């Protein structure tokens, strides 16, 4: 085992997949000469040349759609969208084309492509660069949406995404790129076949008092919350959704059946958000087991402000999630702290 | 620029919604043509005409659902373009795609079955009128979103170029497409990346009910590649040989030079935008014009072949009878093809199966027993 950053896990895995399969190419704005806005593609142009590392003009609809067309002919493009906010320019190609082509033509053509893109607020980027709109893609049958939270998951899930024959939206997070974690020693080997199973959530920490559910950066924050509350003798079970579509409901419902209470933490807005679907699933799957209403911790419903105190206040935090957990537990009469 | 069909004046064009053209026959001569080939084009054009008429009939009888856009009046454009392609070349089109599907080599029976939404349809009933698709004949889709096919077609050309192949992509679209973002983004990328692709704008002068002059600041659409240094040509879409020759030349140049081209084909849409559109935005005069013999590619070509002694009355009748029989056969095939089983509803959501794919029917609980 070695400890590396989430960024390095992505970069080395992407490189390994390019070595492994000639059909894998990467496309996006500033990924070649500039080596990536967040340096995930650092060194790739030098190693693989401009045929396989294609810098694109600022034309998200054009190059995402071109990736879809190339995938229809059997290439495996990995497209980088500089942030998920820019995916809105390409949304017709993602939703009306990438997600539809396999079904709409009766299974004649698959679309084996990956769209890598970071979400995440908290960087003082203002309203149009701080949104978490993975919900839009998680809503769409035909897409697969992955949201890894650790370097090891990032590596195994990226490998799975590239080798999968369907269009995958691969959600990264600005707040995770520098986070560190353990990975297997051979994580960067082209012949490494340990791929994550798409469509499975994971209990990342066992606990008995309450279930805390998150994904991407919020799964990492959930782990921090659990560690902190453990000091106060609150035993939190953490579920990392890992995959937003297909959604593994059984894993978190089973957890809630065990603990009797749930808090969901999400980096998106609450109303109609990912957490709404999780909460609805819990009420349907674990109604008789719930000792308290399901609680959601989500962003304040405003366009994200630039000013630091306002931005910080708008985002879920270890403190706000801890408070929600304690309030939920007091509501059911469980001992708190 | 091959500009064989200049409008007489933009003022007239603006007011009419369609454009009159010179009556002088500027089309290629027949001296070097094989009579059998010419008769084959004629038959293909008649076939598209009858197929579409049968489609309209089946639509009004509610055998075909959804939106239904026909190639009536555009037969010379369809056949000329498809003749210019090799079997190994790829085609992407918009939603007015029935004729192209047949022209690219799809079995008309399976095209009709797709229109009927049956299991023998080219897409097993999942696509319908706007979404003809067949990997074998490399017709990679009719697409219902205006401009949606452009980036895809460029991507297909990218894959060809990536592998060093010698195929070309033809990307058909309507005149209204030249104003959408995907047009600009795709033409730029195609030129930047040296892609072997020919963009074909079928200009029938009307995007649904809006004329080209009311939607395009530069209504000479073949000029609109200039911003990307893409050479453009215009051809009289009523003339199957002119379309074939111009398209073939551009397709071969795209193949040789590995660079994109633009072709605008002026073509009349005889009826409304779709089967249900009575085209009230057209005056009676404009409707007459769109349906006149002067603008009917089949009448024009038939006349020409008759003049040259290639098409006799007897042959004309023979072709009419055999086309009629084949179209009837297609309709019968479609009629008799089974409806898809509801049990196949979840067969095509994903190409790679993964855990937890939803197979829930509308009223099912999320957690089945």
Domain CATH number, residue B140: 3.40.50.970
The one-digit pLDDT tens for each residue of chain B (369 residues) are 444 444 333 333 333 444 444 445 567 778 889 999 999 999 999 999 999 999 999 999 999 999 999 999 999 999 999 999 999 999 999 999 999 999 999 999 999 999 999 999 999 999 999 999 999 999 999 999 999 999 999 999 999 999 999 999 999 999 999 999 999 999 999 999 999 999 999 999 889 989 999 999 999 999 999 999 999 999 999 999 999 999 999 999 999 999 999 999 999 888 888 888 888 888 888 888 888 888 899 999 999 999 999 999 999 999 999 999 999 999 999 999 999 999 999 999 999 999 999 999 999 999 986
Q: Which of A103, A197, A199 sits opposite B126 (nearest CB)?
A: A103
* Any A CB within 8 A of B119 CB: no
Asked if residues B197 and B117 have their Cβ atoms less than 8 Å apart, the reply is: no
* Any A CB within 8 A of B358 CB: yes
Helix (H) or strand (E) holding B206: strand B206-207
* Any A CB within 8 A of B228 CB: no
* Any A CB within 8 A of B344 CB: no
With CB atoms and an 8 Å threshold, state whether A142 touches B349. yes
In angstroms, the separation between the Cα of residue A260 and the nearest Cα of chain B is 18
B67 is a domain residue: yes
Residue B7 dihedral angles phi and psi, to the nearest 5°: -70, 150
Residues 6+ apart with CB under 8 A from A144: A161, A164, A166, A167, A168, A169, A198, A199, A243, A245, A246, B350, B354
Interface ipTM > 0.90: yes
Using H for helix, E for strand and C for coil, what is the string for chain A? Answer: CEEEEHHHHHHHHHHHHHHHCCCEEEEECCCCCCCCCCCCCCCHHHHHCCCCEEECCCCHHHHHHHHHHHHHCCCEEEEECCCHHHHHHHHHHHHHHHCCHHHHCCCCCCCCCEEEEEECCCCCCCHHHCCCCHHHHHCCCCCEEECCCCHHHHHHHHHHHHHCCCCEEEEEECCCCCCEEEECCCCCCCCCCCCCCCCCCEEEECCCCEEEEECCHHHHHHHHHHHHHHCCCCCEEEEECCEEECCCHHHHHHHHHHHCCEEEEEEEECCCCHHHHHHHHHHHHCHHHCCCCCEEEEECCCCCCCCHHHHHHHCCCHHHHHHHHHHHHHHCCCCCC
* Any A CB within 8 A of B219 CB: no
* Preferred mutation among A52, A62, A202 to probe B, highest tally of B CBs within 10 A: A62
pLDDT of res. B5: 43
In angstroms, the separation between the Cα of residue B103 and the nearest Cα of chain A is 18
B321 is a domain residue: yes
pLDDT of res. B3: 44
B76 is a domain residue: yes
Q: Which residues of A touch B156 (CB under 8 A)?
A: 69-70, 72-73
Q: From B345, which residue of chain A is nearest by alpha-carbon distance? A: A103
* Preferred mutation among B345, B350, B359 to probe A, highest tally of A CBs within 10 A: B350
pLDDT of res. A319: 98
B9 is a domain residue: no
CA angle A117, A179, A176 (to 5 degrees): 25
With CB atoms and an 8 Å threshold, state whether A164 touches B366. no
With CB atoms and an 8 Å threshold, state whether A105 touches B162. no
Q: Which of A25, A59, A103 sits opposite B348 (nearest CB)?
A: A103
* Any A CB within 8 A of B200 CB: no
B350 is a domain residue: no
CA distance linking residue B120 with residue B123, whole number of Å: 8
Q: Which of residues 83-102 of B touch A (CB under 8 A)?
A: 90, 92
CA angle A89, A93, A98 (to 5 degrees): 140
With CB atoms and an 8 Å threshold, state whether A197 touches B354. yes
Q: Show which residues of A are catalytic.
A: 60, 129
Residues 6+ apart with CB under 8 A from B275: B55, B56, B59, B60, B68, B69, B70
Q: Which residues of A touch B140 (CB under 8 A)?
A: 69, 72, 109
With CB atoms and an 8 Å threshold, state whether B365 touches A165. no
Q: Which of A92, A142, A285 sits opposite B366 (nearest CB)?
A: A285
With CB atoms and an 8 Å threshold, state whether A93 touches B358. no
pLDDT of res. B29: 79
pLDDT of res. B24: 54
Q: Which of B154, B347, B365 sits opposite A284 (nearest CB)?
A: B365
With CB atoms and an 8 Å threshold, state whether A284 touches B193. no
* Preferred mutation among A50, A106, A278 to probe B, highest tally of B CBs within 10 A: A106
Least Cα distance to B222 among B253, B266, B256, B158 occurs for B266
pLDDT of res. A16: 98
pLDDT of res. A332: 81
B367 is a domain residue: no
B1 is a domain residue: no
Q: Which residues of A touch B110 (CB under 8 A)?
A: none
pLDDT of res. B26: 62
Q: Which residues of B touch A22 (CB under 8 A)?
A: none
Burial A146-182 (b: 16+ CB within 10 A, else e): bbbbbbbbbbbbbbbbbbbbbbbbbbbbbbbbebebe
Average pLDDT, consecutive stretches of 10 residues, N- to C-terminus, chain A (337 residues): 97 98 98 96 98 98 98 98 97 98 98 96 91 97 98 98 98 96 96 95 98 98 98 97 98 98 97 98 97 97 96 97 97 69
Residues spanned by the domain of B61: 31-344
* Preferred mutation among B66, B146, B199, B352 to probe A, highest tally of A CBs within 10 A: B352
Gyration radius from chain A CA atoms: 20
CA distance linking residue A273 with residue A281, whole number of Å: 13
pLDDT of res. B268: 85
Structurally, chain B folds into a number of domains equal to 1
Collapsing DSSP to helix, strand or coil, B267 comes out as: coil
Least Cα distance to B255 among B134, B139, B85 occurs for B85
Helix (H) or strand (E) holding B170: strand B169-174
In angstroms, the separation between the Cα of residue B130 and the nearest Cα of chain A is 10
B234 is a domain residue: yes
Q: Which of A92, A249, A280 sits opposite B148 (nearest CB)?
A: A92
**Interface A:B, Cβ pairs < 8 A:** 181
* Any A CB within 8 A of B366 CB: yes
Could you read off the pLDDT of B324-359 as tens digits, one per residue? 999 999 999 999 999 999 999 999 999 999 999 999
Q: From B171, which residue of chain A is nearest by alpha-carbon distance? A: A69
With CB atoms and an 8 Å threshold, state whether B127 touches A142. no
Using H for helix, E for strand and C for coil, what is the string for A138-161? Answer: HCCCCCEEECCCCHHHHHHHHHHH
Q: Which residues of B touch A142 (CB under 8 A)?
A: 349-350
Residue A210 dihedral angles phi and psi, to the nearest 5°: -160, 150
């Amino acid at each position: 085992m070695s400890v590396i950053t989430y960024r390095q896990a992505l970069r080395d895995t992407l490189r390994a997949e390019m070595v492994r399969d000639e059909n894998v190419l990467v496309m996006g704005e500033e990924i070649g000469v500039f080596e990536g806005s967040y340096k995930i593609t650092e060194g790739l142009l030098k190693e693989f040349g401009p045929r396989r590392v294609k810098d694109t003009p600022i034309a998200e609809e054009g190059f995402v759609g071109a990736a879809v067309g190339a995938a229809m002919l059997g290439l495996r493009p990995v497209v980088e969208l500089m942030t998920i906010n820019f995916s809105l320019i390409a949304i017709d190609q993602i939703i009306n084309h990438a997600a539809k082509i396999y079904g709409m033509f009766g299974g004649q053509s698959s679309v084996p492509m990956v769209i890598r893109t970071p979400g995440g607020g908290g960087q003082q980027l203002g309203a149009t660069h701080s949104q978490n709109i993975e919900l839009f893609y998680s809503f769409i049958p035909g897409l697969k949406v992955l949201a890894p939270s650790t370097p090891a998951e990032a590596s195994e899930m990226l490998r799975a995404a590239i080798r999968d024959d369907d269009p995958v939206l691969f959600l990264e997070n600005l707040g995770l790129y520098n986070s560190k974690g353990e990975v297997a020693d051979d994580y960067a080997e082209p012949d490494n076949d340990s791929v994550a199973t798409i469509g499975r959530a994971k209990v990342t920490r066992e606990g008995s008092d309450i279930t805390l559910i998150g994904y991407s950066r919020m799964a990492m924050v959930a782990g921090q919350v659990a560690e902190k509350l453990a000091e106060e003798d609150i035993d939190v079970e953490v579920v990392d959704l890992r995959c937003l579509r297909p959604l593994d409901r059984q894993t978190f419902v089973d957890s809630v059946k065990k603990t009797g209470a749930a808090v969901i933490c999400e980096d998106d807005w609450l109303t109609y958000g990912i957490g709404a679907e999780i909460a609805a699933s819990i009420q349907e799957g674990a109604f008789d087991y719930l000792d308290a209403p399901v609680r959601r911790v989500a962003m304040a419903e405003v366009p994200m402000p630039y000013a630091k105190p306002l931005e910080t206040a708008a985002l879920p935090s270890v403190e706000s999630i801890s408070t929600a957990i304690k309030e939920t537990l007091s509501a059911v009469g469980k001992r708190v702290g | 620029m091959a500009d064989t069909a200049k409008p007489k004046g933009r003022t007239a064009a603006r007011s009419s919604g369609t454009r009159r053209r010179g009556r002088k026959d500027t089309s290629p001569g027949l001296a070097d043509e094989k009579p059998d080939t010419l008769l084959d084009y004629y038959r293909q054009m008649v076939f598209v005409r009858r197929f579409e008429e049968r489609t309209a009939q089946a639509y009004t009888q509610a055998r075909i659902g959804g939106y239904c856009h026909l190639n009536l009046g555009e037969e010379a454009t369809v056949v000329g373009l498809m003749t210019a392609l090799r079997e190994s070349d790829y085609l992407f089109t918009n939603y007015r795609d029935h004729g192209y599907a047949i022209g690219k080599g799809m079995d008309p029976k399976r095209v009709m079955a797709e229109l009927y939404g049956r299991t023998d349809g080219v897409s097993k009933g999942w696509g319908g009128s706007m979404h003809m698709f067949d990997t074998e004949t490399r017709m990679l889709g009719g697409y219902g979103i205006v401009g949606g096919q452009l980036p895809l077609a460029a991507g297909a050309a990218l894959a060809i170029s990536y592998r060093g192949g010698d195929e070309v992509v033809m990307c058909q679209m309507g005149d209204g497409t030249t104003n959408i973002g995907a047009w600009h983004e795709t033409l730029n990328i195609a030129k930047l990346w040296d892609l072997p692709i020919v963009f074909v704008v079928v200009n029938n002068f009307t995007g649904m009910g809006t004329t080209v002059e009311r939607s395009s600041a530069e209504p000479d659409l073949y000029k609109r590649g200039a911003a990307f240094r893409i050479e453009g040509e215009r051809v009289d879409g009523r003339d199957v040989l002119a379309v074939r020759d111009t398209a073939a030349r551009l397709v071969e140049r795209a193949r040789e030079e590995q660079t994109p081209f633009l072709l605008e084909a002026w073509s009349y849409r005889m009826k409304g935008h779709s089967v249900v559109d009575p085209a009230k935005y057209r005056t009676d005069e404009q409707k007459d014009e769109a349906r006149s013999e002067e603008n009917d590619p089949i009448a024009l070509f038939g006349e020409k072949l008759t003049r040259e002694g290639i098409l006799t009355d007897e042959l004309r009748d023979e072709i009419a009878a055999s086309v009629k029989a084949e179209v009837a056969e297609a309709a019968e095939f479609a009629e008799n093809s089974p409806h898809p089983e509801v049990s196949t509803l979840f067969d095509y959501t994903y190409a790679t199966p993964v855990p937890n794919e939803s197979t829930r029917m509308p009223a099912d609980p999320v957690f089945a027993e």
